[in-house]
Structure 1
């Protein structure tokens, strides 16, 4: 794979995780608010968002299989280019179909980006420390991602409130910054991420061979899920989690817009709100790593996911903008608490030959579930109210805890493995 030490690989992993997620902070809730400002209804917004999930569903496993067969670095480079194109598409979109195209491009990006960086890091560590758990690196990643997203969101809100270009919407400047930072991430990936090149020097031959291997890798990944009850349960968790996530990613900005009476005002509020949410996500991620050490990864993951769903219910019950933002902050902190333990559980079930594929299986289920859940919640919101849809989403999300039962049974009898991150950070 590489010649990097675990400590050096960890630095690259955390740096690229930060540059990857910092731009996202600038557009938290902004794409949704731009669509509403340009005349789309709640149902149209929740429907066009499904284009992203559909593209991920179609491409997630083939692209992750290609990453396992061809290499992580090429996929991440292509992903960076597509991400830039998606940001530009959102800037110029005005109709439902143009927003659907932008969402579809973002789905292609998510499919390409899902798994390769994390798989690259874990496999690099396992070259030196086979089988070592990596949840502490995932916890550190969550802290930095939260800081990056929160910082980006805070600046984004300030840019919307500042509105220096009176001739255009105040919501557009954060998207322009998003595109610029995506270019920075692409350059960082090209410079920092190292991967041992294949012995075949002919690019065309490498691609052809990798495409031929991809169906085999995908087939083996699917076969592993059908034969591994623990992995099947972990993958299914995403189906329930994405329903709750829809409430605080898609419905929350719309609800805030209703309470404040303006999409632009909501955009200015979303910056500080998202910044606070991701700051608390960082705290939750740090606590989640420690909770996994103390109580076990399964218990930490279950507790985080249950409380996260209840937080979504509280968001739906909030009667004013301040209460809504407060519930949003708590919900995001709990989102961070579950993530390190959940990622660690997935890595226990994967190997170097299928790690990117296994990681992508969870993302595939999440995106496919979102493609179904988001428009249904949009219909529910249109026929009842956005708060009702949020309460239903949170309640359904909590049911996913039962999917952790096979992992819990296994953890009770599993010996404790070594954790190498303490050495890496010493």
Structure 2
């Protein structure tokens, strides 16, 4: 939490770091998958090595989030930036299955460290001076910047692949090298811009010891909150269905495109404009999602977004020809953005400043663990049948995720807006206070980051 930054200054830092965080990712959207295939990995091997990322996130998500809540957001974000750079370099030199798995594991460590702290820092900084202030406009603006940054990066990436200025190496590698360089820029920006009051006035060693002591309690409260709060449990479960669809339009889509075009390099050139358009429409979808949440309410907007996004994945599987596939991809990504604000707003309602980073990370935890299971299964299905068949199945499963919003819908029918989110939370003194935030975030994480793609950072 920062005692020196005003809400306006904190918003400026939050949006700046969001842009520098996601701009590099735009350069590698779809390329990690294509590079692995170009270097000889099969569809099953590609979807399998990516499980290393999900496994690492599963093991580290909650401990690192509790560490952020106890020690502070800034140290975690700096460490995450360093790990991200190492992961990018590791991927550049990977040629075997196990080398790709190592780079994916490092990326998983990065995702675990990066999931939640920046958003939590901003919300807590604003609420320090303006308790209960609504932050959804800043979160919506973040979604727009993420889309613009990733879209711009992807457009330049596609142009670089098509240009192929260095003939001695693969056309797909230059964007990955730029990704590493821009990740260094983001790390430096984090060090310079993000200010935070230390959680303790003692020296670093004492603060680390204190964090280790506090982390189990923070993590325990987060897990207990999920097990006793049916609304939050349903929201977290949505990630299992969401990631199934994401595996189709993030991992299988570049492979399907390369099949239709007959070349990984040509698919990489197409992926640049496609990803740019997708993330541009993600921005529009994020904006529309925020307006839909204001008009129809968070729960109804979240249900609508989940259904339409899943149906978009089905259309991708049914598409014949590269142009039809790109059109379906653009629609799906716009609905990906539209589905995010209401969902994230519901998640924020169930968190407080004490464990906001932990609660936000729970969704990412389930998403990564789910991806680690779903990815190889979809890869196996694609190998045994076809990539389009696997995409249709993923879309149907993703659409069914709307049922996970039923507890939130039922609760919304029986509880006034100004009351606490749920009696299922338990003792407020033991667990958390209810945040009144009706925010919206880009999928990051799913990004959410989140990024949200299993193959992207």
What range describes the TM-score normalised by the shorter chain of this pair?
A: over 0.9
CA contact (8 A) 2:345 2:437 kept: no
Corresponding position of 1:263 = 264
Q: Once structures 1 and 2 are overlaid, which stretch shifts more, 130-139 or 278-287?
A: 130-139
Structure 2 CA distance for partners of 1:211 and 1:376, relative to 1, 3 Å: same
Matches within 5 A, 1:385-400: 385-400=386-401
Matches within 5 A, 1:290-369: 290-369=291-370
3-state SS in 1 of match to 2:169:
coil
The one-character-per-residue Cα deviations of 1:19-58 (angstroms, maximum 9, x if unpaired) are 0000000000101000000000000000001100000000
Matches within 5 A, 1:247-286: 247-286=248-287
Matches within 5 A, 1:169-248: 169-248=170-249
Corresponding position of 2:82 = 81
Query: Structure 1: how far apart are the matches of 2:438 and 2:362?
Result: 25
Could you tell me how far 1:198 is from its partner in structure 2? Answer: 3.4
Q: Once structures 1 and 2 are overlaid, which stretch shifts more, 291-300 or 408-417?
A: 408-417
Matches within 5 A, 1:366-381: 366-381=367-382
> Cα RMSD over matched residues?
1.3
Could you tell me how far 1:420 is from its partner in structure 2? Answer: 10
CA contact (8 A) 2:135 2:437 kept: no
Query: What's the TM-score once normalised by structure 2's chain length?
Result: 0.90
Query: Structure 2: how far apart are the matches of 1:41 and 1:153?
Result: 25
Query: Structure 1: how far apart are the matches of 2:351 and 2:69?
Result: 12
Structure 2 CA distance for partners of 1:28 and 1:420, relative to 1, 3 Å: closer
Query: Structure 1: how far apart are the matches of 2:365 and 2:46?
Result: 21
Could you tell me how far 1:338 is from its partner in structure 2? Answer: 1.2
Query: Structure 2: how far apart are the matches of 1:138 and 1:418?
Result: 11
3-state SS in 2 of match to 1:280:
helix
Query: Structure 1: how far apart are the matches of 2:300 and 2:125?
Result: 28
Structure 2 CA distance for partners of 1:197 and 1:103, relative to 1, 3 Å: same
Corresponding position of 2:36 = 35
CA contact (8 A) 2:139 2:439 kept: no
From 411, 414, 417, the counterpart of 2:416: 414
1:161 aligns with 2:162: yes
Query: Structure 2: how far apart are the matches of 1:280 and 1:420?
Result: 20
Question: Structure 1 stretches of 5 or more lacking a match?
Answer: 422-426
Q: Once structures 1 and 2 are overlaid, which stretch shifts more, 40-49 or 189-198?
A: 189-198
Query: What's the TM-score once normalised by structure 1's chain length?
Result: 0.97
Query: Structure 2: how far apart are the matches of 1:339 and 1:358?
Result: 16
Could you tell me how far 1:136 is from its partner in structure 2? Answer: 2.2
Structure 2 CA distance for partners of 1:380 and 1:418, relative to 1, 3 Å: closer
Query: Structure 2: how far apart are the matches of 1:339 and 1:166?
Result: 41
CA contact (8 A) 1:135 1:341 kept: no
Structure 2 CA distance for partners of 1:419 and 1:301, relative to 1, 3 Å: closer
1:126 aligns with 2:134: no
Could you tell me how far 1:133 is from its partner in structure 2? Answer: 3.4
Query: Structure 2: how far apart are the matches of 1:116 and 1:420?
Result: 16
Corresponding position of 1:424 = none
Could you tell me how far 1:201 is from its partner in structure 2? Answer: 3.2
The one-character-per-residue Cα deviations of 1:130-168 (angstroms, maximum 9, x if unpaired) are 233332222111110000000000000000001000100
Query: Structure 2: how far apart are the matches of 1:196 and 1:220?
Result: 24
Could you tell me how far 1:297 is from its partner in structure 2? Answer: 1.1
Q: Once structures 1 and 2 are overlaid, which stretch shifts more, 210-219 or 66-75?
A: 210-219
The one-character-per-residue Cα deviations of 1:311-356 (angstroms, maximum 9, x if unpaired) are 0000000010000000000000000001111111111100111100
